[in-house]
Amino acid sequence: MANEHSPLLIHGVYGIMGDADDSRSGSGVTGQASTKSNPRKLDTFFGVMVPTILSMFSIVLFLRTGFVVGHAGLLHGLLMLLVAYFIISLTILSICAISTNGAVEGGGAYFMISRSLGPEFGGSIGLMFYLAKVCACGVYVLGLVEAILDIFGKDPGSTVSHGLHVLPQGYWYTVMYSSIVLLVCLVVCLVGAHIYAKASFAILLVVTVSLISIFISPMVLKPQRFNITHTYGNNHTVTVNPSYTGFNGSTLKNNLGPGYSLDYSTNTMMSFATVFAIMFTSCTGIMAGANMSGELNNPSESIPKGTIMAVSYTFTVYLILFLILSSTCDRLLLINDYAVLQRVNVWPPLVTIGVYCASLSAAMCSMIGASRILHALALDQLFGLPLAPAAVTSSSGNPWVSVLYTWGLVQCTLFAGQLNVIAGIVTVFYLLAYAAVDLACLALEWASAPNFRPTFQLFSWHTCLLGIVSCVVMMFVINPVYSSASIVLLLFLLLFLHYRSPTSSWGYISQALIFHQVRKYLLMLDSRKDHVKFWRPQVLLMVANPRSSCQLICFVNQLKKGGLFVLGHVQIGDLDLLPADPVQPQYNFWLSLVDKLGVKAFVDLTLSPSVRQGTQHLLRITGLGGMKPNTLVLGFYDNSYPEDYFLQDPVFCEGDRGEGDNFGVDLPSLQAYFPPVRHAESPRSLQPEEYVSIIRDAIKMGKNVCLGRYFYQLPPESKGKAFIRGGDSVKTIDVWPSNLLCPGSASYADVCSLFLLQMACVLNMASWWRSARLRIFLCVESQSEDQGWLAKEEQFRDLLGKLRIRAAIKIVMRDNVSCTLREANPERQNVEIKAVPEDFLRDVNALLKEHSSTAAVRFLYLPHPPSVADQSQQYLTQLDTITQELGPTLLIHGVTPVTCTEL
């Protein structure tokens, strides 16, 4: 148990002093390196800024900027740019908030989402984000091959090589070239991410020099015209003669508005959505630095700072390029040549080198980031055996198996053959991942957890919610089919992980949100506004030993009708004589019992010198606000030998040990914790006087009381419906709404009788008991003093109609029983507990057996307990006699009105 000497972060990812290993390093995977053997070396610039800038530039900067401006025009292009950066800016705020709220391990965005939202949502979004990185890597590789073929590819209509145009073109050639480029990326990634990080700075220098040449070219080059030929199919060719005008006001004016037309590579009509999908791929690199979190020296500081600076830099570059291209290039040139920046450069090879470097860098960065996400998923063991090999690492900590997994999946995406074909899929997947990051931050903010205090404060729940809405809306604007399919896939993964119930010690944001909302609603639940129309059972079931009470627990679970159900247990002891509270460590065992039984119940345990005092405590303090128990259920007090339910139900048998639950309680521990059932020779810890006093106390406190007997005869839940429908006829629920110990002392419409009817009706509405028939038995006498029983039956039938209770009414003549009582008490005085003769009790028992022997359960009227403690044993003996060998029976004493005939 935790105490003041416990570590600060028991489940933390790093010790607060920085000397703890990775919390996932003990997963037992062969070859996995610990944090100390894989030191974090990268700083903000090399680890975050450089990969983020290169990923956001990638192929879009050099190969699709002119395409976007040509089709969308400057105004629509700027709108796309602003919308895209607005969406990612909102997501960046969420990333910064989450990443500065604690230590970040490897896995980047997946790690942040999973540790914030829990394993189900984190695992499903993590896999979706992994697929997005895989598709993005395919986009970058195809873009690089496109740039290579633009320089070195043969003319599709010619079989002769001219100059540098030596590479044959076609679909399968494109796949082959792409596979070779991907193989180069695989070799680099297998060597390690640190080599890429070192080389990425040199790549950034090359890209920067290329950009400078693009910016100065309009001031050097003179206007010129070009001849561009495109081949469609085998024989159809189209030639256009676009022009480069340099800075020109007419060119800018002509390029202001949109001019969507056919895309010459895919021969499909472009629109705002399709162009935006391609342009947005430039914004999918904002998590490149976050995905390198496992290699960052200080990820909580580097991720926010480096990401914000990188995004600001790329936005400025794209804005300048949009203005330059729309002012200098004819629209025909922009839409008919992806490599327009090479045509209009002072030295085209410089741009070519920049394209190759940026594309190759982005492809490697995506492969490295994807492999790290997959490695983190494998370490967390969310998807079981299929991803288990991906947890293997080299001696230096490089997850080479996950790199191979990623390489294989990227290879599959290359069969698309065209960059523009899979750009929409990439964009939709990334938008879904960004929405998940915003959702994680929103959930943490709404949960108002005291430990959510990020050092980055420039965010609010408004920005998170706006980010979620923006991402979802743009997903469906871009491609409704892909968006719907991705959401369906996400829901499938959620259900799969929920079914697997993966073990985690990350904390569950759902629990924090539920707590926050339940507290607010409990405050709104005002007990002063209770009305009998909306009454429902709220039960406190006192359990001495679950081994002998499991059937009663399951029965009460069916009886609660959506109300509060609490399992109460009193441990005898005095806290003054104990070194620590023995009750707190027991909750996990009781909660695991609740899980195994499949009941919807809370658990409340207490330590008390006596069972009576402990029950009083629980009746007073259990529940909150308007959710407090109104009914106390006890097992019956008799001398019968209790049966061990753990030996009957397969869930608890020795052969079905399982692996334990998520909280450290396995089946052997559960069986060992609950003591064996009491033997017939064992002394009882609860005396008759104390048991009857508990009933009396509950009634004084305004609680209804139920005593359950013979419920061990009910079958396990798995056979319950078959039991109700078994045999030649459907089982029945029998209700005896009169006080059988005091005939004529109460009407059929008093509070207690109506409470019996209500409880039986509630049980009949439960799924188990819906097919059972409800029968109500009215005890009457045919003698002269009770000649009005026919009128009473009609009145009672009318009452049932008003209460909307469907039941068969059975008339039972009790002349023989009443005769026995009259002979013992000829003056017809008020019958007290001690005055009821034994023969009368046996006759009542025989009457019940005669009419209710085949019932599944019986509801009997529980007389008020005696006010004198000396009569407690007599009271219990009488209850024992009238219920002897009846089968499952519930004796009920109701004190609160529960039914209403009004609408």
**pLDDT (tens digit per residue) in 605-663:** 999 999 999 999 999 999 888 889 999 999 998 877 777 887 777 777 654 444 555 55
**Same domain? 91 vs 219:** yes
**Same domain? 648 vs 775:** no
Q: Which of 28-32, 102-106, 369-373, 862-866 has the lowest mean pLDDT?
A: 28-32
**Same domain? 391 vs 461:** yes
What is the model's pTM?
Answer: 0.67
Q: Is 698 part of any domain? A: no
Q: Of the ranges 268-282, 358-372, 668-682, 692-706, which is most confident?
A: 692-706
Give the pLDDT confidence score for residue 229 in this predicted structure: 80
Which whole number is the average pLDDT over 722-749?
72
Tokens standing for residue 104: 């970040």
The range of the structural domain enclosing residue 885 comes to 709-825+834-902
Q: Which residues pair with 779 in a beta bridge?
A: 812
Give the pLDDT confidence score for residue 164 in this predicted structure: 67
Percent of the chain with pLDDT over 90: 24
Helix (H, G, I), strand (E, B) or coil at 385: helix
Q: Kindly tell me if the per-residue pLDDT of 95 is higher than 90.
A: no
pLDDT tens for 170-197 read 888 888 999 999 998 888 888 766 677 6
pLDDT tens for 308-320 read 999 999 999 999 9
Q: Which residues pair with 811 in a beta bridge?
A: 778
pLDDT tens for 415-433 read 877 776 777 788 888 888 8
**Same domain? 715 vs 668:** no
User: Could you give the angle at which helices 193-216 and 50-63 cross, rounded to 10 degrees?
Assistant: 50
Which whole number is the average pLDDT over 559-574?
90
For tokens 């947890």, name the residue: 391
Q: Kindly tell me if the per-residue pLDDT of 9 is higher than 50.
A: no
**Same domain? 265 vs 394:** yes
Give the pLDDT confidence score for residue 625 in this predicted structure: 82
Q: What whole-number distance in Å separates Cα of residue 378 and Cα of residue 393?
A: 11
Q: Kindly tell me if the per-residue pLDDT of 829 is higher than 70.
A: no
Q: Of the ranges 47-61, 424-438, 600-614, which is most confident?
A: 600-614
Q: Show Cβ contacts of residue 433 under 8 Å, excluding neighbours closer than 6 positions.
A: 109, 125, 128, 129, 132, 287
**Same domain? 680 vs 724:** no
* Angle subtended at Cα 582 by Cα 576 and Cα 588, rounded to the nearest 5 degrees: 155
**Same domain? 674 vs 715:** no
Name the residue type at position 640.
S
For tokens 């290699």, name the residue: 295
Q: What whole-number distance in Å separates Cα of residue 304 and Cα of residue 310?
A: 10
Which whole number is the average pLDDT over 62-74?
90
Q: Kindly tell me if the per-residue pLDDT of 16 is higher than 60.
A: no
Q: Kindly tell me if the per-residue pLDDT of 902 is higher than 60.
A: no
CA-closest candidate to residue 656, choices 701, 707, 718, 708 = 718
CB 23, CB 13: distance < 8 Å = yes
Please list the alpha-helical segments (H only) found in 396-543.
Answer: 400-413, 419-447, 461-478, 480-500, 509-524
Which whole number is the average pLDDT over 351-368?
86
Q: Which of the two residues, 897 and 266, has the higher pLDDT score?
A: 897
Q: Show Cβ contacts of residue 495 under 8 Å, excluding neighbours closer than 6 positions.
A: none
Please list the alpha-helical segments (H only) found in 380-418.
Answer: 400-413
Give the pLDDT confidence score for residue 36 in this predicted structure: 42
Give the pLDDT confidence score for residue 2 in this predicted structure: 45
Q: Is 779 part of any domain? A: yes
Dihedral of the CA atoms 198, 203, 205, 210 (nearest 10)? 180
Which whole number is the average pLDDT over 422-447?
84
Look at strands 565-572 and 236-240 and give their pairing: unpaired
Give the pLDDT confidence score for residue 834 in this predicted structure: 53
Output the average pLDDT for the chain.
Answer: 81
pLDDT tens for 460-495 read 889 999 999 999 998 898 889 989 999 998 888 888
Q: What whole-number distance in Å separates Cα of residue 598 and Cα of residue 118?
A: 22
Tokens standing for residue 809: 């009414």
Domain stops at, among 450, 480, 500 = 500
Q: What whole-number distance in Å separates Cα of residue 715 and Cα of residue 721?
A: 10
Look at strands 236-240 and 228-232 and give their pairing: antiparallel
Which whole number is the average pLDDT over 839-861?
89
Q: Is 461 part of any domain? A: yes
The domain total for the chain is 3
**Same domain? 278 vs 408:** yes
pLDDT tens for 682-704 read 667 788 999 999 999 999 999 99
Q: What is the CATH classification number for the domain harbouring 443?
A: 1.20.1740.10
pLDDT tens for 365-410 read 888 888 888 888 888 888 878 888 888 888 777 888 999 999 999 9
Q: Is 549 part of any domain? A: yes
CB 180, CB 317: distance < 8 Å = no
The beta strands (E) that lie in 747-818 are given as 773-780, 808-813
Q: Which of the two residues, 526 and 475, has the higher pLDDT score?
A: 475
Give the pLDDT confidence score for residue 825 in this predicted structure: 54
Q: How many helical (H) and strand (E) elements, i.e. helices and strands, does the chain have?
A: 29, 14
Taking CA atoms, 700 is separated from 183, 463, 867, in Å, by 81, 55, 11
Tokens standing for residue 27: 């997963």
Backbone angles phi, psi at 365, to 5 degrees: -65, -40
First-residue to last-residue Cα distance in the chain: 53
**Same domain? 762 vs 881:** yes
**Same domain? 222 vs 172:** yes
**Same domain? 719 vs 676:** no
Give the pLDDT confidence score for residue 769 in this predicted structure: 85
Q: Which of the two residues, 528 and 880, has the higher pLDDT score?
A: 880
Q: Is 423 part of any domain? A: yes
CB 631, CB 537: distance < 8 Å = yes
Q: Is 797 part of any domain? A: yes
Q: Which of 90-94, 710-714, 728-732 has the lowest mean pLDDT?
A: 728-732
Q: Is 702 part of any domain? A: no
Q: Kindly tell me if the per-residue pLDDT of 722 is higher than 90.
A: no
Q: Which of the two residues, 396 and 332, has the higher pLDDT score?
A: 332
Which whole number is the average pLDDT over 823-849?
69
Other CB atoms within 10 A of residue 861 CB: 23
Q: Which of 231-235, 284-288, 483-487, 874-878 has the lowest mean pLDDT?
A: 231-235
Give the pLDDT confidence score for residue 21 in this predicted structure: 40
**Same domain? 766 vs 893:** yes
Which whole number is the average pLDDT over 520-530?
82
pLDDT tens for 111-155 read 777 777 778 778 888 888 888 889 888 888 988 888 888 888 776
Q: Is 2 part of any domain? A: no
Q: What is the CATH classification number for the domain harbouring 555?
A: 3.40.50
pLDDT tens for 234-270 read 667 788 888 999 899 999 999 999 999 888 877 888 9
Q: What whole-number distance in Å separates Cα of residue 501 and Cα of residue 663?
A: 12
Per-residue buried b or exposed e for 737-754, using 16+ beta carbons within 10 Å of the residue's own CB = bbbbbbbeebebeeebbb
